[in-house]
Structure 1
Amino acid sequence: MAAFPVINMEKLNGEERAATMELIKDACENWGFFELVNHGISPEFMDTVERVTKVHYKKSMEQRFKEMVAKKGLESVQSEIKDLDWESTFFLRHRPVSNISEIPDLDEEYRKVMKEFAAQIERLAEELLDLLCENLGLEKGYLKKVFYGSNGPNFGTKVSNYPPCPKPDLINGLRAHTDAGGIILLFQDDKVSGLQLLKDGQWIDVPPMRHSIVVNLGDQLEVITNGNYKSVMHRVVAQIDGTRMSLASFYNPGSDAVIYPAPSLVDKEDNKDSYPKFVFEDYMKLYVGLKFQAKEPRFEAFKNTSNLGPIATA
């Protein structure tokens, strides 16, 4: 098995740019995941984000999670739990309208830090989208434009903690799934592992690296790239020791964005196997009930129901 792809973004600025772009291309085509180092978000700021996130969990969420576990009797289960994830989570929406002032129990420092974190992650996401455009032969800004819709992209951060689990063989931290959206940037705990992706029929650990950002591709990029890049099944394995922190930021199309394969990536001679055309919000409505199932039936469902007319070729 080839080593998990790690991209040093500093090398994009020098004579190793071409080789680094090739590494990104290979990661997108063959892994659906890669890890960024020297990505422009300072280690000191990432340490602050980690500190305030872990303090907030301890102060505001840990006890509630313990009460849920006790109420459901999860510590004494004897058979596999298939409809529940061993995670404590909440969602911060950044765009098109922030909800950060509405989330209870967030102190002012945490709100301020997470606003700045969102701004820096958004910049990085848009930089990555342009790197993907370059590798795909699309004009600069193509993916951002497709994602934009009428009100800009949907962008938010799922803040998760995965506490120690007494029965990790029976309860998943997070069940296997592909992500519905666009491009996902993850700042994860570097001390407690658990994230795995499915590659060539095997579950592969995504290595925890200090101050790195893990990137994975969502279903929408698979559609837009006409399958050149694919979203990949991944999961979180519960651990018996340690609480794993995860901040997954989702840079997704706007709700009314129309998603379809980029015309330049569609073989004009053989369009029948191309991906469907749909409105992102409609895809999300379907995804909600089918998240932990294979993605292919979701794509097929839209091939037969699209009423959006032919794909534009201009």
Structure 2
Amino acid sequence: MSSNSIPKVDLTGLRSSLPGGDRWEAAREVVAAALHSHGCFEAVFPSPSTDLREEMFGSAAPELFSLPLESKLRSISDDAYHGYFGQIPHLSFESLIINGVDSPIAVQDFTRLMWPPEGNSTFCNNVTAFAEPLRELVEMVQRMIFQSLGVDQKQQDSFASSITHSLRLAEYGVPLNQDTKIALDAHLDPHLLSVICQHKIGGLEIQAMDDGNWIVVPPAPASVTVIAGQSLQAWSNMRVRAPTHRVRMLGKEKRFSVNYSIRPSRNSIVKSPAELGEDDDRPLLYKPFNYTEFVEFIYSEKGMGMSPKDAFNSYCRLEN
């Protein structure tokens, strides 16, 4: 039987730049176990402060999504799912993504796109400050994964040089289908790793891998949710597993969320390090694949006609 909650890990006081010591090693073991058993965990960490959360969810996000559709559509991308996303017939959902959010210049460029020509300095400052602790958390978890898998420095450098940092802001209206209360359909994330920050109004649910039950992840003022994506599952040769998740809203209030993620850069090849496929008990499970082409496939008519897991496996899984 699955638990009614996801694993919780206290990372307070740890830093990605100081990857050692008893507390680090103990936390690393819990993180590795959680990402294999659940594909996610609740991270207690110096996440964005109460004031920053109020600025982001009470001001910045509502201001962004109140812009006219033609303004939001200026946030376009050559890559599917990595620009403006919305206007879905059966869902009241929109999202906008800031690519390269680890650079303040990218945030400034985004605001000039949304509020031309000067931009929006208040929004820019709020997003930059909000993203900083989430970036630190992602880098810490990334380093713990490398250590737990025994990946050498060359592979770590290759991984780090071919990823993009992004911040996705999302607005969820009252679910159109009041019978199901589904605000975002069950799905798997195609990228590597993400940190989801909810605020006051929850809705995130993660499907347990052992029995398929849905685990409600309530918002918490001092923690965030770390979720693995399909590319990390393939890269780790399934030592990390990507969980199915959805958004289900029981109330009638609008919901905002922030998702900080890392993904393979455009046309990067996702390939499991050789040492992760040399174990007789765990042969190589996934073939190398082009991340951009993979995302295009899962959002194609053929990919959308499959379940998320079937689409992933049909495109990436080796036939052993």
Q: CA 1:282 to 1:59, structure 2 compared with 1: closer, same or farther past 3 Å?
A: closer
Alignment RMSD (CA, Å) = 3.2
Inter-partner Cα distance in structure 2 for 1:238 and 1:104: 28
Question: Residue 241 of structure 1 aligns with which residue?
Answer: 252
Q: CA 1:113 to 1:142, structure 2 compared with 1: closer, same or farther past 3 Å?
A: farther
Deviations 1:230-287 (A, max 9, x none): 1111000133322221111221111132211121111354786521101222212212
Q: 2:40 aligns with which of 16, 33, 39?
A: 33
Inter-partner Cα distance in structure 2 for 1:210 and 1:40: 9
Question: Residue 207 of structure 2 aligns with which residue?
Answer: 198
Question: Residue 139 of structure 2 aligns with which residue?
Answer: 126
Deviations 1:122-148 (A, max 9, x none): 333222200111122223584563253
Question: Residue 309 of structure 2 aligns with which residue?
Answer: 295
Question: Residue 48 of structure 1 aligns with which residue?
Answer: 55
Contact 2:205/2:214 (<8 A) preserved = yes
The unaligned stretches of length 5 or more in structure 2 are 16-20, 72-87
Q: 2:91 aligns with which of 85, 110, 133?
A: 85
User: In the TM superposition, what is the alpha-carbon distance from 1:50 to its structure 2 partner?
Assistant: 2.8
Question: Residue 20 of structure 1 aligns with which residue?
Answer: 27
Contact 2:193/2:232 (<8 A) preserved = yes
User: 1:185 aligns to what SS in structure 2?
Assistant: strand
Deviations 1:100-137 (A, max 9, x none): 13442573201222133334433332222001111222
Question: Residue 283 of structure 1 aligns with which residue?
Answer: 294
Q: Does 1:209 align with 2:226?
A: no
Question: Residue 190 of structure 2 aligns with which residue?
Answer: 180
TM-score, with structure 2 as normaliser: 0.76
Contact 2:201/2:255 (<8 A) preserved = yes
User: In the TM superposition, what is the alpha-carbon distance from 1:184 to its structure 2 partner?
Assistant: 0.6
Q: CA 1:255 to 1:144, structure 2 compared with 1: closer, same or farther past 3 Å?
A: farther
Q: Identity over aligned residues, as a percent?
A: 18
User: In the TM superposition, what is the alpha-carbon distance from 1:198 to its structure 2 partner?
Assistant: 0.8
Contact 2:41/2:226 (<8 A) preserved = yes
User: 1:101 aligns to what SS in structure 2?
Assistant: helix
Q: CA 1:147 to 1:84, structure 2 compared with 1: closer, same or farther past 3 Å?
A: farther
Contact 2:230/2:312 (<8 A) preserved = no
Amino acid at match of 2:91: D
Q: Does 1:108 align with 2:121?
A: yes
Inter-partner Cα distance in structure 2 for 1:256 and 1:272: 25
User: In the TM superposition, what is the alpha-carbon distance from 1:167 to its structure 2 partner?
Assistant: 3.6
Contact 1:86/1:171 (<8 A) preserved = no
Question: Residue 139 of structure 1 aligns with which residue?
Answer: 152
Q: 1:7 aligns with which of 6, 9, 12?
A: 9
Inter-partner Cα distance in structure 2 for 1:212 and 1:141: 32
The unaligned stretches of length 5 or more in structure 1 are 65-81, 306-314
Inter-partner Cα distance in structure 2 for 1:302 and 1:165: 33
Amino acid at match of 2:45: N
Q: CA 1:24 to 1:100, structure 2 compared with 1: closer, same or farther past 3 Å?
A: same
Amino acid at match of 2:28: M
User: 2:27 aligns to what SS in structure 1?
Assistant: helix
Inter-partner Cα distance in structure 1 for 2:286 and 2:236: 9
Q: Does 1:221 align with 2:232?
A: yes
User: 1:180 aligns to what SS in structure 2?
Assistant: coil
